[in-house]
């Protein structure tokens, strides 16, 4: 697959405020360091089910998520912890969810990123690949019917996910109705063990935008500033009635599909090449050149703060109880009251 193009960038790196530069640094590190903690917990047998990391894809999640506004509605996928956190979900809730704790967002009834929070504009993730896109197209249709020109719906989908029928039906409807909808195809090279060239004969996923008669934007998914800049452009297009927009983030999945998968089917040289494009290292290098960026000492301090916060979260969440069997039938349907969970 094509690697991000070096050289001339389409955006002006001096156009970002120092607050934006700091926030992006904070969330990219929070994303990475939280997943490192979750990996330790996984190896200790504390995680229920799989652990789906986004190592190497943090810039895509954080940059695109940061471009969304409070009033927007987002449907993130398993590689998008960054989106969840940018929109205000706490690392503590994410840990509790991964460990199926009764106090977690789904009260231990589901795990990993299978949760939402409408108070933060997050629509619940749908596990069946592609189905979330249709839900989010429906959300965009509701936005249009309610005449809310300030709102846009966003979703993220993998290169594998976009090969199925849901994608076609959803994108077609969104395009016909000119909905305020942004679909970010996170092209990380592989759909589980299937490489790009066995998913599609076309060279770039963004080319599909032409078939739907809508704009397409391809961007370097390992450059957080480009991800933010490109998604803001897509959002503005939607607000001008030029949507929907298909975006393609060119990035790479450094780990396997999940932590149980050693990704032996991915050539090691390819992984090594992409490690040279690490989004955090690239952002550090960019920050060194920007006059309004946090200094190296400030960045060290931010990372230390994140580590402290994560240690507190682990200490707090680990002893929390999982739900008791008797509570299993409660809180399953909308409108039902959350069951009181007795302590263990
Ligand atoms: C309809 C459907 N088929 C199969 C699966 C099992 N499955 C979950 S994730 C995945 C691979 C997804 O690949 P991709 O969309 O490229 O996203 P990535 O994991 O690379 O981020 C598969 C096959 C599923 N969830 N839904």
Three-state SS for 338?
coil
Q: How confident is the model at residue 337 (pLDDT cuts 50, 70, 90)?
A: low
How many domains does the chain fold into? 1
Determine the structural domain holding residue 256 and report its residue range.
Answer: 18-314
Mutate-to-test residue for ligand 1 from 35, 131, 162, 192, highest number of ligand atoms within 8 A of CB: 192
What is the structure's pLDDT at 343? 45
Asked whether residue 93 is domain-assigned, the answer is yes
Asked whether residue 305 is domain-assigned, the answer is yes
pLDDT in tens, 139-167: 999 999 999 999 999 999 999 999 999 99
The whole-angstrom separation of Cα 277 and Cα 336 is 47
Please state whether the predicted TM-score (pTM) of the whole model is above 0.85.
yes
What is the structure's pLDDT at 344? 42
Tell me, in angstroms, the distance from the centre of ligand 1 to residue 285's CA: 33
161 contacts 129 by C-beta, under 8 angstroms = yes
What is the structure's pLDDT at 1? 41
pLDDT in tens, 29-56: 999 999 999 999 999 999 999 999 999 9
Token pair listed for 90: 């706490």
Tell me, in angstroms, the distance from the centre of ligand 1 to residue 129's CA: 6
Question: Residue of the nearest CA to atom 12 in ligand 1?
Answer: 191
116 contacts 123 by C-beta, under 8 angstroms = yes
Asked whether residue 100 is domain-assigned, the answer is yes
Ligand 1 pocket by Cβ (under 6 Å): 79, 127-129, 158-161, 186, 188, 190-192, 253, 257
pLDDT in tens, 4-30: 555 689 999 999 999 999 999 999 999
Asked whether residue 280 is domain-assigned, the answer is yes
Asked whether residue 10 is domain-assigned, the answer is no
CATH of the domain at 92: 3.40.50.970
Average pLDDT of every residue of the chain: 94
Asked whether residue 9 is domain-assigned, the answer is no
What is the structure's pLDDT at 340? 59
> Nearest 5°: CA angle at 133, between 130 and 135?
115
Q: How confident is the model at residue 70 (pLDDT cuts 50, 70, 90)?
A: very high
The whole-angstrom separation of Cα 132 and Cα 138 is 10
Tell me, in angstroms, the distance from the centre of ligand 1 to residue 167's CA: 13
Q: How confident is the model at residue 300 (pLDDT cuts 50, 70, 90)?
A: very high
Question: Residue of the nearest CA to atom 23 in ligand 1?
Answer: 192
Angstrom distances, CA of residue 158 to CA of 2, 136, 190, 333:
16, 15, 9, 29
pLDDT in tens, 186-232: 999 999 999 999 999 999 999 999 999 999 999 999 999 999 999 99
Q: How confident is the model at residue 2 (pLDDT cuts 50, 70, 90)?
A: very low
The whole-angstrom separation of Cα 266 and Cα 278 is 17
Tell me, in angstroms, the distance from the centre of ligand 1 to residue 260's CA: 15
Asked whether residue 1 is domain-assigned, the answer is no
Asked whether residue 251 is domain-assigned, the answer is yes
């Amino acid at each position: 697959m094509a690697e991000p193009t070096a050289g001339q960038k389409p955006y002006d790196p001096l156009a970002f405020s120092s607050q934006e530069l700091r926030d992006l640094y904070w969330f990219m590190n929070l994303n990475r360091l939280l997943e490192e903690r979750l990996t330790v917990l996984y190896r200790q047998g504390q995680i229920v089910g799989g652990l789906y990391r986004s190592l190497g894809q943090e810039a895509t999640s954080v940059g695109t998520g940061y471009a969304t506004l409070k009033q927007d509605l987002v449907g993130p996928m398993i590689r998008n912890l960054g989106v969840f956190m940018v929109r205000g979900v706490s690392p503590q809730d994410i840990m509790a969810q991964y460990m199926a704790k009764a106090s977690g967002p789904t009260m231990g009834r589901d795990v990993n990123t299978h949760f939402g929070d409408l108070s933060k504009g997050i629509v619940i993730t749908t596990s069946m690949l592609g189905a979330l896109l249709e839900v989010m197209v429906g959300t965009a249709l509701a936005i249009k019917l309610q005449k809310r020109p300030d709102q846009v719906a966003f979703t993220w989908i993998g290169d594998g996910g976009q090969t199925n029928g849901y994608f076609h039906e959803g994108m077609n409807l969104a395009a016909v109705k000119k909905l305020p909808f942004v679909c970010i195809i996170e092209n990380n090279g592989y759909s589980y063990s299937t490489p790009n060239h066995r998913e599609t004969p076309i060279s770039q996923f963004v080319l599909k935008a032409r078939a739907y008669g809508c704009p397409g934007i391809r961007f370097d998914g390992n450059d957080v500033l480009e991800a933010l800049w490109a998604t803001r452009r897509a959002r503005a297009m939607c607000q001008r009635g030029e949507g929907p927009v298909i975006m393609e983030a060119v990035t790479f999945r450094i780990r396997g599909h999940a932590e149980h998968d050693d990704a032996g089917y991915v050539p090691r040289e390819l992984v090594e090449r992409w490690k040279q494009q690490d989004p955090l290292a690239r952002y550090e290098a960019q920050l060194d050149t920007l006059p309004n960026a946090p200094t190296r000492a400030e960045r060290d301090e931010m990372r230390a703060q994140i580590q402290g916060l994560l240690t507190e979260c682990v200490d707090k969440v680990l002893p929390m109880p999982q739900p008791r069997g008797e509570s299993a039938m409660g809180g399953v349907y909308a409108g039902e009251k959350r069951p009181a969970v007795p302590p263990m």
